[in-house]
A and B are shown apart, each in its own frame.
Chain A
């Protein structure tokens, strides 16, 4: 709770700081504020009682997901120092919008009432609509922003209609009351209730880009500024899955049979479409967009397996996926800058000869995304498959493993360029602050790959 207040005040403070036109201060102040919020979040984790008239509840689940989002935002701010160096104005607004969006993310992980869920999703999304259009003169950014806005508000209308129907049946927005209703009517829920649940899941599936509601995501990822794309594919994804998990485990348990079938079909489609369409991509940003859809598929599998360990698995998977994605985006941004803004995979040609250190870091990130041991991504995938197989979901697990193998192919197609013998005479400027971030991400990926219990013990 304290971290929510700190973040909101910090966002307002940065907005006022933006009047001063001294760009050097924004990111350091933001980072200090985020550190304070992180410390408050970690030290406060003992307090589990519901707050604000039963609206939010920072239980241990919420606080670990919130801490992981705070750490990721911290890294994005560090990358932002370099990213926004050449931007003439409105830098402070970008930072504070990211903070406001993070506040929405924290609400989504800790809601105890449908009203808070809705508000969290909107607080997360509305700043993102603006951020994805923050390159005002770029037509692609405009288009990404408008598409995201249109589909995002379309999806939240569905979510709202679902919430209204569930309210109509259960006469409450409180998730514990809804869960009581579900358990007393477990033999047959009224059709309005199932319809409401369906629409709520539909709205959230839009947010985590599950197939068939993924159409916005490659376009929006490609058109948005790279730093914002990194924010969307890490922090927003974590928030979305935390909210889905909380909804399934706290509000709609036990799920009706029809809903479980619908979600399995969603998982199957997400795994298939995400991985297979990534094979045809030539733009690196689009590749990462499809990779993010594919990873949603693996996360949905972990979510649906209903294993008692699945919250730990989801946390581990989202965190390691986010670290690897951040590294990839940060390197991509620097290389793109020195190759006249091209976003094709070809820009990585000869990176190994040009700059072996960056090539190794990119290899680490892609190996982790592909799930190659000993990196953390391998352990994340292993946990997902293990929990699904332990709950006897053999066919879908076998299919997911097959799709993970397909994943290795397209991540390696990037590495083919990195290690090709061709010369590529570009000089890559890699600043110290971003270096700190990728070294940190690389270290965490290796350490968590060898000692996964560091996160799983939570």
Chain B
């Protein structure tokens, strides 16, 4: 634990926060502007991973293992979520033979 902690602390904390925020924003932009649903799923995954990075950095700076344990929970939940999401995609692909997000417009407000 100790050498890894010092290795993480070589980079200042602000840089981790900025990197994670940048990754998170890239994820948001991807979800909002890409049309392929697989890419959108990947962007959501990117958002979750930026959180993971942030938690690991904070955890090393606070010398508190709770943050790193939370990372495992996020991984498990992300895996479950992607499994369900891909299943829904397969179901859609069978019904309409496309995974383009623009076809999802039959329910209108």
Q: Is the CB of A139 within 8 A of B95?
A: yes
Interface string of B20-50 (1 = CB under 8 A from A): 1000100100010000010010001001101
Residues from chain B with Cβ under 8 Å of A145 in the complex: 88, 91
Q: Is the CB of B80 within 8 A of A122?
A: yes
Residues 31-84 of B at the A interface (beta carbon under 8 Å): 31, 37, 40, 44, 47-48, 50-51, 54-55, 58, 62, 64, 66-67, 69-70, 73-74, 77, 80-81, 84
Q: Is the CB of B73 within 8 A of A153?
A: no
Q: Is the CB of B51 within 8 A of A167?
A: no
A143 lies within 8 A of chain B by Cβ: yes
Q: Is the CB of A167 within 8 A of B58?
A: yes
How large, as a class, is the contact surface on chain A?
35 or more
Q: Is the CB of A139 within 8 A of B109?
A: no
Taking the nearest CB of chain B, how far is it from the CB of A130, in angstroms? 6
Residues from chain B with Cβ under 8 Å of A71 in the complex: none
* CB-CB under 8 A for A277 and B109, given A122-B81, A150-B40, A157-B27: yes
Interface string of A134-155 (1 = CB under 8 A from B): 0011011011111101100110
Q: Is the CB of A173 within 8 A of B81?
A: no
Residues 149-182 of A at the B interface (beta carbon under 8 Å): 149-150, 153-154, 157, 160-161, 163-165, 167-168, 171-173
* CB-CB under 8 A for A143 and B106, given A126-B84, A129-B84, A171-B62: yes
Residues from chain A with Cβ under 8 Å of B84 in the complex: 126, 129-130, 149
Taking the nearest CB of chain B, how far is it from the CB of A62, in angstroms? 21
Give the CA-CA distance A216 to B81 in the complex, in Å: 18
Taking the nearest CB of chain B, how far is it from the CB of A223, in angstroms? 5
* CB-CB under 8 A for A142 and B47, given A115-B70, A168-B58: no
Contacts A136-B91, A142-B88 given; 14 further ones with Cβ under 8 A? Answer: A118-B74, A130-B84, A137-B95, A144-B107, A146-B92, A150-B31, A153-B44, A157-B47, A167-B58, A167-B67, A168-B54, A171-B62, A171-B64, A218-B109
Task: Name the CB-closest residue of A to B70.
Answer: A115
Interfacial residues, chain A to chain B (CB-CB below 8 A)? 115, 118-119, 122, 126, 129-130, 133, 136-137, 139-140, 142-147, 149-150, 153-154, 157, 160-161, 163-165, 167-168, 171-173, 192, 215, 218-219, 222-223, 277, 286
Interchain pairs with CB closer than 8 A, number:
113
Residue of B40, B67, B107 ringed by the most chain A CB atoms within 10 A: B107
B96 lies within 8 A of chain A by Cβ: yes
**Is the contact region of chain B dominated by helix, strand, or loop, or is it mixed?**
helix
- Select B31's contact among A154, A171, A286, beta carbons within 8 Å: A154
* CB-CB under 8 A for A119 and B106, given A130-B84, A149-B85: no
Q: Is the CB of A147 within 8 A of B104?
A: yes
Residues from chain B with Cβ under 8 Å of A118 in the complex: 73-74, 77
How large, as a class, is the contact surface on chain B?
35 or more
Give the CA-CA distance A154 to B106 in the complex, in Å: 21
- Select A133's contact among B17, B40, B88, beta carbons within 8 Å: B88
Task: Name the CB-closest residue of B to A215.
Answer: B109
**Is the contact region of chain A dominated by helix, strand, or loop, or is it mixed?**
helix
Q: Is the CB of A146 within 8 A of B55?
A: no
Residue of A153, A215, A223, A286 ringed by the most chain B CB atoms within 10 A: A153
Give the CA-CA distance A147 to B67 in the complex, in Å: 31
Task: Name the CB-closest residue of B to A221.
Answer: B107
B8 lies within 8 A of chain A by Cβ: no
* CB-CB under 8 A for A222 and B107, given A130-B84, A146-B92, A160-B74: yes
Task: Name the CB-closest residue of A to B51.
Answer: A160
Taking the nearest CB of chain B, how far is it from the CB of A345, in angstroms? 17
Task: Name the CB-closest residue of B to A174.
Answer: B66
Task: Name the CB-closest residue of B to A127.
Answer: B84
Task: Name the CB-closest residue of A to B57.
Answer: A168
Give the CA-CA distance A140 to B84 in the complex, in Å: 18
Taking the nearest CB of chain B, how far is it from the CB of A154, in angstroms? 6
Residues from chain A with Cβ under 8 Å of B24 in the complex: 157, 161
Q: Is the CB of B106 within 8 A of A140?
A: yes
Task: Name the CB-closest residue of A to B58.
Answer: A168
Taking the nearest CB of chain A, how far is it from the CB of B29, in angstroms? 12
Task: Name the CB-closest residue of A to B109.
Answer: A218
9 contacts between A and B (CB under 8 A): A115-B73, A129-B84, A143-B104, A146-B89, A149-B81, A149-B84, A157-B24, A164-B20, A171-B58
